[in-house]
Homo-oligomer: A and B are copies of this chain.
Amino acid sequence: MPRIVQRTEQALERYLPAADIEPATLHEAMRYATLGGGKRLRALLCHAAGELVGAELDTLDGAASAIEMIHAYSLVHDDLPAMDNDLLRRGLPTVHVRYGEAMAILVGDGLQAQAFAVIGELPATAAQKVALLKELASASSSQGMVGGQAIDLASVGLVLAREQLERMHRLKTGAVLRASIFMGAHAGPSTMSPELHAALDQYQRAVGLAFQVVDDILDVTTDAATLGKTPGKDAQDNKPTYVSLLGLDASRALAEELGERARIALLPLGERAAHLLGLADAVVHRIR
């Protein structure tokens, strides 16, 4: 997988406007927000699902870049003073700390537009590009990621039922993780079989939720240096989490159970799904 992470960095380098193109500060800040860091989980999921269907690597690079730009934009806007007011991200000052609040708003806006521009440009048929466009737009929308963020904002100080907490995360982080997987599958030469669609859908539900449960665990068990962002923020901001709802031990058990559910979902796909299986395991056992 380090090879895919490297490919993704190189693709992002190519698909982001160069830092000497005007307006240069904006482009420098867009690159600062996107390049040189992050686990690239979304790119890895996209490539692993694409591998399963025999998609071209160049097409997957474009799709993965678009997804990582959406993810990067969401972090820039989430970190803003009016939102989570975070100062540290991937061990570095957040975009608004480094470039100012107005620029950070524009960086996010520009990254979202660039993600869709990449879909228009990547090497694929028109039908594939439209399928990729639909997945990405839907995942990013007010009924996807942005909707989850709105529910998150409205939930500060509330005690959510487990079902409500799941719904928030299914939108806030789950929608883009889901799109990563389905965009990889859409990049293949033929349309998805119902069996593949069903298996990937079961898989993405388990992995998306596991990701969030582990996030909540790490937020209370890990220091800033390992995490690369400010830990303990959720409790401090009075946000509902799996740990606050279930406790630490039950949250850890839930993460393991979700990893097992992801494994079972992939069984019908056999050996071809080895990379997806490895990613589920990495999500459950990640330490940052």
Interface residue ranges, A against B (CB under 8 Å): 17, 21-23, 25-27, 30, 73, 77, 80, 82-83, 100-103, 105-106, 108-110, 112-114, 116-117, 119-121, 125-127, 129-130, 133-134, 136-138, 140-147, 149-151, 153-154
Interface pair A142/B102, CB less than 8 Å apart:
no
Interface pair B141/A113, CB less than 8 Å apart:
yes
CA–CA, A116 and B112, complex, Å: 10
| Residues on the B chain within 8 Å of A151, using CB | 22-23
A154 to chain B minimum Cβ distance, whole angstroms, is: 7
CA–CA, A145 and B114, complex, Å: 12
CA–CA, A217 and B143, complex, Å: 40
13 A-B pairs whose Cβ atoms sit less than 8 Å apart in the complex: A30-B142, A77-B106, A77-B109, A80-B105, A83-B102, A109-B140, A110-B147, A112-B112, A114-B141, A116-B133, A116-B137, A126-B126, A130-B130
Residue of B nearest to A139 (CB): B113
When the two chains form the complex, which single residue of B102, B113, B133 contacts A120, counting CB atoms closer than 8 Å?
B133
Residue of B nearest to A117 (CB): B137
Interface pair A17/B113, CB less than 8 Å apart:
no
| Residues on the B chain within 8 Å of A77, using CB | 105-106, 109
The dominant DSSP class at the A interface is: helix
**New A-B pairs, 9, CB < 8 Å, besides A17-B142, A23-B142, A125-B126:** A21-B143, A23-B154, A30-B142, A77-B105, A83-B105, A105-B105, A113-B140, A114-B142, A120-B133
CA–CA, A109 and B147, complex, Å: 10
Oligomeric state, in copies: 2
When the two chains form the complex, which single residue of B106, B125, B150 contacts A146, counting CB atoms closer than 8 Å?
B106
A119 to chain B minimum Cβ distance, whole angstroms, is: 7
Residue of B nearest to A138 (CB): B117
Interface pair B113/A23, CB less than 8 Å apart:
no
When the two chains form the complex, which single residue of B117, B121, B130, B142 contacts A126, counting CB atoms closer than 8 Å?
B130
Residue of B nearest to A77 (CB): B105
CA–CA, A116 and B135, complex, Å: 11
Interface pair A150/B26, CB less than 8 Å apart:
yes
Interface pair A112/B109, CB less than 8 Å apart:
yes
A168 to chain B minimum Cβ distance, whole angstroms, is: 9
When the two chains form the complex, which single residue of B83, B121, B133 contacts A129, counting CB atoms closer than 8 Å?
B133
| Residues on the B chain within 8 Å of A129, using CB | 126, 129-130, 133
